[in-house]
Amino acid sequence: MNQLQEIDQLRQQLHHHNHLYYVLHAPVVTDQEFDHLMHRLQDLEALHPEAFDPNSPTQRVGSDLSNEFQTVAHRRPMLSLANTYNREEVSDFYHRVSEGLQGEPFEVCCEMKYDGLSISLHYEGGRLVRAVTRGDGTQGDDVTDNVRTIRSIPLVLPEGGGWPDEFEIRGEVLLPWDNFERLNAQRQAAGEPLFANPRNAASGTLKSKNSAVVAQRGLDAYLYYLLGDGIPGESHYERLQTAARWGFKVGPQTRLCHSLQDIYDYIDHWDTERSQLPVATDGIVIKVDNLRQQRSLGLTAKSPRWAIAYKFQAEQAETILRLVSYQVGRTGAVTPVANMDPVQLAGTTVRRATLNNEDFIRSFDLHLGDHVLVEKGGEIIPKIVGVNTDARDESLGEPVAFITHCPECGAQLVRYEGEAAHYCPNDTACPPQLKGRIEHFISRKAMNIDSLGPETVDQYFRTGLIRDVADLYDIRLAQIAGANREREKSARKIIQSIEDSRQVPFERVLYALGIRFVGEIAAKALARYFKSVDALQTATTEQLLQVNGIGAVIAQSVIAWFANVQNQWLLERLRQHGLQFELNDDELAAHSDRLQGKTIVISGVFTHHSRDEYKALIERHGGKNVGSISGKTSYLLAGANMGPAKLEKAQKLGVSIISEEDFLQMIE
């Protein structure tokens, strides 16, 4: 795999993990593993600026937005923090701050990093008027009704507290360990799936449509950031004490540090003592204390320069490996799973851990009966990180041998060149792959059949109602409304949502088909280049390689998919059901080559369209969005309040600076 192919693969992986984390609240990798993938992608994109994509995961932060709630724009963006996992990077941050302040003395406020869901609370006249989730940083979901049930959040502030008429306070909504264990015990007794960790439970609870359920589960909240005019003091630490006097729950572990050694001492103390806290934490937040100095240091596009998050190393425990089982995913990837003696880890009982792939198993020379070290990084999905070979009894256990055939359908597994995973090639008949393809097909970025969920898909699949995505369009109301039509309301929503999906544009239909290695971006590029499924179906490898961002691996996968007779039959059935298999006249008319070969940087605030809409317009007319100015930049699209650094660099390099009106005239 070359570096450009790796970039495309990393983007697809990170988009998938973002969706699992922020939308489904079901992450399958640790924060550290996610950050490693992100850093690798950032490094590769720096080496290959020609591969810039405005939709790359490096160009945005994740989102927890949901269609179930009203979306509200944040008055002030809720940025994410840069993460670090070692003292050297903490030291680098400390010295960057010192340089940025030109040697001016500064203090640092250290706080616990609570592992929950970020929330923004707005107060007017001393009363809570709105609670908004972080969302994508610029807008979030209005969850005010649910937040009102959290007893540690004051609904009305005490008289005479000196609070301003309007202000915002931010913090973290979380589920204490005791309530988490009680909730999972109740779910286990009811035969319901368990929450992986308190963070998932808090997210799922706060997004519940039933406020009574939220009240019963016992959410808590810690607040850590006051914003607004008229708030006394220029010290962040002092403002936290002020918030506490107003009745807000502020972490008592917060400490003002005067040196780098003070920070190290704080880290060392809480690295062990955090296990005694009543709530889950995954690190420490380090902030410059003086607000004037914060403003002086400023922000990047995604995070403040005056703060950083130090993540604790994952907790480990030793247990015994008893059995290795295997799971088959949507793409056919086969994942080995370690089944172990129960062990307490990060507040929960662990019995299973991922083994990733055959190479991973071989790297540890795993034997059944081995004493293995298990880690639960980010308190999410456990995995084996080592083996205590001194405790191995060679006479008891056998070396773990990776299976050769699919545990679900019996097909012989294959391993593609450059891939670490084994795959079941039987993608037209293997049950987990069939279900996974249906779940992918109905997902929001694909066909957006939002009234269906994985549980319903599984039920329909087990009863034989659907076996592939085309069967969705054969579902009738009477089949799913229940014997006494007790589910008629939800059934009508499902039928309507399926009907609406017939209007989903071609590029998303192509993505929804689930062709291996064809992610959202690749599907968009293929749809815009070939303009119809008929043209794509007959394309040669050479023609596919002409498409920007399409390499040999994707090209071969596309050709193999369309050559499969069962896929051809599936396409014909979907065509008969009226799905969009070509760009319509409006879409074709909306595209042009007016910006072909042009690279454009966007900066500032605009009147006629949002920044994202301008990025889409640039792509639609053949141009390329880039994030930073260089000698190769064709234009700087400048809006109001644009960054002075970009303006200065554009002028220095002789880059043409165009206004919003200039740009619209160019494309129209």
- Catalytic site residues? 113
Q: Can you tell me which residue has the tokens 């004490």?
A: 241
The Cα–Cα gap between 249 and 271 comes to 22
Pairing of strands 371-375, 333-345: unpaired
DSSP string, 494-533: HHHHHHHGGGS-HHHHHHHTT-TT--HHHHHHHHHHH-BH
Pairing of strands 307-311, 83-84: parallel
294 and 383 in contact (C-beta within 8 Å)? no
The Cα–Cα gap between 528 and 514 comes to 18
The Cα–Cα gap between 329 and 189 comes to 27
* Nearest to 543, CA basis, from 534, 530, 557, 527: 530
Structure tokens at 176: 């204490």
132 and 122 in contact (C-beta within 8 Å)? yes
Pairing of strands 139-141, 316-328: unpaired
Q: Can you tell me which residue has the tokens 């994030």?
A: 627
Task: Determine how many CB atoms are found less than 10 A away from the CB of residue 221.
Answer: 25
The Cα–Cα gap between 461 and 463 comes to 5
Q: Where are the beta strands (DSSP E) in 40-86?
A: 71-73, 83-84
Helices (H) and strands (E) in the chain, counts: 25, 21
Indicate left, alpha or beta for 76 from its phi (over 0: left) and psi (-120 to 50: alpha): beta
Identify the H or E element spanning 224. strand 220-227
Burial of 478 (0-12, 13-18, 19+ CB in 10 A): exposed
The Cα–Cα gap between 380 and 196 comes to 6
- Classified as helix, coil or strand, 250 is coil
Q: Which residues pair with 111 in a beta bridge?
A: 285
Our measurement of the distance from residue 230's CA atom to the centroid of its chain's CA atoms, rounded to an integer in Å, reads 36
For the chain, how long is the longest CA-to-CA vector?
79
**Contacts for 472 with CB less than 8 Å, ≥ 6 apart:** 438, 441, 442, 449, 466, 498
**Contacts for 210 with CB less than 8 Å, ≥ 6 apart:** none
The Cα–Cα gap between 66 and 134 comes to 12
